[in-house]
Structures are given as C-alpha cells and as structure tokens.
C-alpha cells in the first residue's frame, strides 16, 4: 500500500464517498444518480425528477445542471476550468511526498489533457489533433472497414455471441492500437487495463477500485516508457511515433497523451456501439427505416449519442467568482454538468425520450462535450460506429438479444460489458457504408 495513493484516495474519493453514503441513506436524488444502482440501470428517470429543480441547483458540495444551453455555456466559458477543487488540505509532509512520488499518468491527473486548461492544454492538444482531422479520419475508413468485416466473419453463423466482447470492443481497440503503434497481441491487455482505470472518472469510488486503478496505471506507464524508447530508436507510421520524433512533448506528457488516447479512443466508441445495438434492436421500426433509407445511418448514430450518451457527465470548476443562471458561484465552486440530462432537455429536443433516427437537430447533442475540451476523436468514433452498426445489422438481419445485457458498474462511462445475442442466419454480403 503506497502512502501517496492513500492520501490521493482520501482527498479525491474517500471523503466524497462518505458524504455520498450519508446522502444515499437520506434519499438524495443526486447521490442516487451517482452512487446507487438506479444511476447505472436507469439514470434518466432520476434526471427527469431532478430537472424541475431549476437550471442550476445546489447538491452540496457541488452545483448541478441538466440544462442544455447552460451546460454548453459553461463548457465554452473560460471562466470555468477542468481542475477539481481540493477537498482535503493535505499536510505539508503529505504534499512533499506526493511531489516526490507522483502518481502514474492517468486520465484524471495533469498532464492529461482532460485536466489542464489554457495555455498548456493548447500546447499539448495541437500536435495530437493532427491525427484526428477529417482528412486523417477519412484515411482510416478502409482500415475500419477491414477490421469490422473480419470481426463479422469471425462471429458464428446462426449461433450465440457476445456483441461487446466479440464485436463492439474489438473494433475501436484495433484501430486505436494501430494508431499508437501497439502490437495486435497486446489488445486484450489494454482492454483489461482500461476496465481497471475507467472508474477513476467516477465520484467516490472505493479504496479497492482506486488501488486497482493505480496499479494498472503503473503497468500502463511502464509499458509506455518501454514502447516510447522503442519508437525513439525505430519510429513507425503512427501518431505516437510522430509525437516522439517531433519532440514537442516531454516523456511524461507523451505517456499521458497515449494513455488518454488509448482510453478515450476505446471507451467512448465501445459504449456507443453497444448502446446502438440495443436501441436499434429495441426499435425495429427505426431499424426497418434504416434498411429502406441507408443514408440515414449517420443521423441515427447522432440520435444514439443524444438519447443515451456514452459519457454521462463531466464537471467544471469556477476559476473566479462568477454570476451565472441567477446564482453567485465562488472561485473553486464545482458544477456537475449532466450531458445525459442536457441531451434530453425538452426545450431543445421535442419529445426527448423518443428515439427518432430522423430527428433534424440530433447533432446538437453534447455527447462529445463542447468547447476546447470537445472530444478529439469524435469524428473517428462516429465513423467507426456508423460502419460497425450498419455492417452488423446488414450481415445478420435476424440478430436478437437472448438475455438481459450486463451493465458496466460505472456512472460516468455508461455502457455494457456483455450483450448476449443470437446472430441468426448470415447474409453473405452487405452494402458498404458510405
């Protein structure tokens, strides 16, 4: 047990966890959303119950909003930053210990781009962003097609399958691994590490979950240090090799960027594909419409992102005293932004609980956030999901779920770990998505 990890857990999760347990016993709605089984199984009922509390309301120690326009405003406002407030003022000895033995790079600590503001954010994001321009993503289309078709070929004809472990998870991990120059043989290891580290984005996780995440973060860090050394000696044709040879980022920044890209490039898309499968199979009329009008597939993916986003919530912290939505927020106040709630705001999306692949403003969702921290890989995730879902449904037109899907035990990165299904008879060819 490393002392620095104990201090970090107490400061980042332990105190919040204790407060959340008290609030859960009192029936607090926000605690139920972010700490109870309802928040995993059916967050939207709780969101609608809380929406009536106003555009911005207090759920100590946080402020909370489910309002689309307010979420978008805060995400784009430079008066708000991504740094979380200090819950516990660590003693000088503990602070010196953390400085001497820093935690390994992970998504919730600087220099991760998720947790730094301007100007450092721009300096780190700019060299990485080149790999995710529309032109760069377009060049990956053939590879996404090949990987998806290989996975579909491997699925049984008219037999049982787990559509997460055998399909939805495999598409994005294959693509991001290639983009970072990782060997194919290491993909399963990355999937395990991703499962361990993902809970860090939740509030008030247990000590056991936190320590497992830190241990896996250390393993990822050691792996990346060795990988970066190999790329310095023999760079390849991948984004990480390009970042290494340009020399614009330090080794720690390279590790942080690679860790974030590996996680974000996989986690969002696997949840998007998994949720898309369920929404389409549960709404056969919409799926029939897609078969009749395949040009609607891109908008269908936007509607999936709107109605059930893979990332449910994010947070911003006031960098100064500020007046917003009729409330005075002090410097350091944190606002929890419910992206899932914003995406079902009836003021923006009429009949927000209705799944409609023809919705004309579906793309106005905040499923990929907004502002300077908008998801770098949004275009890639859209392209992967559009092709994967269309190809799956065209290859197995009688696909059906066989038992209840298994939810991942996460509140922020919301999705499924298992989708047991029966494929039905295979159609020998399908029309490639445009």
- Considering the domain boundaries, does residue 434 fall inside one? no
Q: What is the pLDDT of residue 275?
A: 98
Of the listed ranges 50-59, 240-249, 316-325, the least confidently predicted one is 50-59
With cut-offs at 50, 70 and 90, classify the pLDDT of residue 166. very high
Q: What are 57's strand-pairing partners?
A: 64
- Considering the domain boundaries, does residue 251 fall inside one? yes
Residue 117, pLDDT > 90, answer: yes
Q: Can you spell out the DSSP letters for 57-119?
A: EEETTEEEE--HHHHHHHHH-TTEESPPPPSS---HHHHHHHHHSPPPP-TTSTTSGGG--TT
Q: 329, 321 in Cβ contact below 8 A?
A: yes
Q: What are the structure tokens assigned to 312, written together?
A: 């449910």
Residue 71, pLDDT > 80, answer: yes
Q: What is the pLDDT of residue 291?
A: 96
- Considering the domain boundaries, does residue 243 fall inside one? yes
Nearest of 373, 379, 384 to residue 136 by alpha carbon: 379
- Considering the domain boundaries, does residue 431 fall inside one? no
Mean pLDDT value of segment 1-11: 79
Residue 92, pLDDT > 80, answer: no
What is the spatial distance between Cα 379 and Cα 58, in angstroms, rounded to a whole number?
35
Q: Which residue has the higher pLDDT, 431 or 217?
A: 217
Residue 434, pLDDT > 50, answer: no
Residue 303, pLDDT > 70, answer: yes
Of the listed ranges 83-87, 185-189, 198-202, the least confidently predicted one is 83-87
Q: 210, 13 in Cβ contact below 8 A?
A: yes
Residue 98, pLDDT > 70, answer: no
Q: What is the pLDDT of residue 433?
A: 46
Which domain does 73 fall in, by range? 3-422
Q: Considering its fold, how many domains does the chain have in total?
A: 1
Mean pLDDT value of segment 201-213: 93
Q: Does the CA dihedral 363-367-369-373 come out positive or negative?
A: negative
Q: 95, 4 in Cβ contact below 8 A?
A: no
pLDDT digits (tens, 9 = 90+) for 124-151: 999 999 888 888 899 899 999 999 999 9
- Considering the domain boundaries, does residue 50 fall inside one? yes
With cut-offs at 50, 70 and 90, classify the pLDDT of residue 8. confident
Q: What is the CA radius of gyration of the chain?
A: 21
Whichever domain contains 289, its CATH number is 1.10.630.10
Torsion of CA 178, 182, 186, 189, to 10 degrees: -90
With cut-offs at 50, 70 and 90, classify the pLDDT of residue 95. low
- Considering the domain boundaries, does residue 433 fall inside one? no
Which percentage of the chain shows pLDDT scores above 70?
A: 93
Q: Which residue has the higher pLDDT, 7 or 337?
A: 337
Q: What is the pLDDT of residue 97?
A: 64
- Considering the domain boundaries, does residue 333 fall inside one? yes
Mean pLDDT value of segment 78-96: 69
Q: What is the pLDDT of residue 99?
A: 65
Which percentage of the chain shows pLDDT scores above 90?
A: 76
| DSSP secondary structure code for residue 145 in this structure | H
> To the nearest 5 percent, what fractions of the chain are helix, strand and coil?
55, 10, 35
Can you list the positions of beta strands (E) in 232-362?
313-318, 322-324, 327-329, 334-338
Residue 311, pLDDT > 90, answer: yes
Q: 321, 330 in Cβ contact below 8 A?
A: yes
Mean pLDDT across the chain: 91
What is the spatial distance between Cα 29 and Cα 190, in angstroms, rounded to a whole number?
35
Residue 282, pLDDT > 70, answer: yes
Residue 61, pLDDT > 90, answer: no
Residue 205, pLDDT > 90, answer: yes
pLDDT digits (tens, 9 = 90+) for 410-426: 999 999 999 999 999 99
Of the listed ranges 49-58, 286-295, 312-321, the least confidently predicted one is 49-58
Q: What is the pLDDT of residue 86?
A: 52
pLDDT digits (tens, 9 = 90+) for 324-382: 999 999 999 999 999 999 999 999 999 999 999 999 999 999 999 999 999 999 999 99
What is the spatial distance between Cα 96 and Cα 91, in angstroms, rounded to a whole number?
9
- Considering the domain boundaries, does residue 427 fall inside one? no
Q: How far, rounded to the nearest angstrom, does the alpha carbon of residue 230 sit from its chain's CA centroid?
A: 29
pTM given for the model: 0.94
State the burial class of residue 337 (Cβ atoms within 10 Å of its Cβ: 0-12, 13-18, 19+): buried
């Amino acid at each position: 047990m490393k002392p620095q990890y104990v201090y970090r857990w107490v400061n980042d999760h332990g105190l919040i966890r204790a407060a959340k347990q008290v609030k859960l016993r009192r029936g607090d709605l926000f605690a139920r959303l972010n700490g109870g089984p309802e928040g995993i199984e059916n967050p939207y009922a709780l969101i609608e119950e809380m929406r009536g509390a106003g555009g911005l309301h207090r759920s100590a120690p946080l402020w909370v909003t489910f309002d689309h326009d307010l979420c978008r405003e805060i995400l784009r406002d430079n008066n708000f930053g991504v740094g979380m407030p200090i819950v516990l003022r660590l003693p000088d000895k503990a602070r010196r210990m953390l400085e001497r033995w820093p935690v390994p790079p992970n998504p919730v600590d600087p220099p991760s781009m998720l947790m730094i503001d301007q100007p450092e954010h721009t300096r780190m994001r700019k060299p990485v962003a080149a790999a995710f321009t529309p032109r760069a993503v377009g060049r990956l289309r053939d590879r996404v097609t090949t990987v998806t078709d290989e996975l579909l070929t491997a699925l049984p004809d008219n037999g049982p399958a787990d559509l997460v472990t055998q399909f939805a998870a495999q598409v994005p991990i294959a693509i991001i691994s290639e983009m970072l120059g990782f060997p194919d043989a290491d993909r399963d290891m990355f999937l395990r590490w991703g499962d361990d580290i993902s809970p860090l984005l939740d509030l008030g996780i247990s000590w056991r979950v936190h320590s497992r995440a830190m241990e896996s973060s250390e393993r990822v860090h050691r792996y990346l240090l060795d990988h970066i050394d190999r790329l310095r000696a023999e760079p390849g044709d991948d984004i990480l090799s390009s970042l290494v040879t340009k020399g614009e980022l330090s080794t720690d920044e390279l590790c942080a960027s690679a860790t974030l890209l590996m996680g974000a490039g996989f986690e969002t898309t696997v949840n998007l594909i998994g949720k898309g499968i369920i929404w389409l199979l549960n709404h056969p009329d919409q799926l029939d419409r897609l078969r009749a009008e395949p040009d609607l597939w891109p908008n269908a993916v936007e509607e999936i992102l709107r109605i059930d986003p893979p990332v449910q919530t994010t947070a911003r912290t006031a960098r100064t005293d500020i007046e917003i939505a009729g409330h005075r927020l002090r410097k350091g106040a944190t606002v929890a932004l419910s992206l899932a709630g914003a995406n079902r705001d009836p003021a923006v999306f009429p009949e927000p609980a209705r799944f409609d692949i023809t919705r004309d403003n579906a793309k106005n969702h905040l499923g990929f956030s907004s502002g300077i921290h908008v998801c770098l890989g949004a275009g890639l995730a859209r392209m992967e999901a559009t092709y994967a879902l269309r190809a799956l449904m065209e290859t197995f037109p009688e696909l059906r779920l066989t038992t209840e899907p298994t939810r991942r035990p996460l509140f922020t990165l919301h999705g499924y770990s298992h989708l047991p299904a029966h494929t039905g008879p295979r159609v020998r060819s399908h029309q490639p998505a445009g």
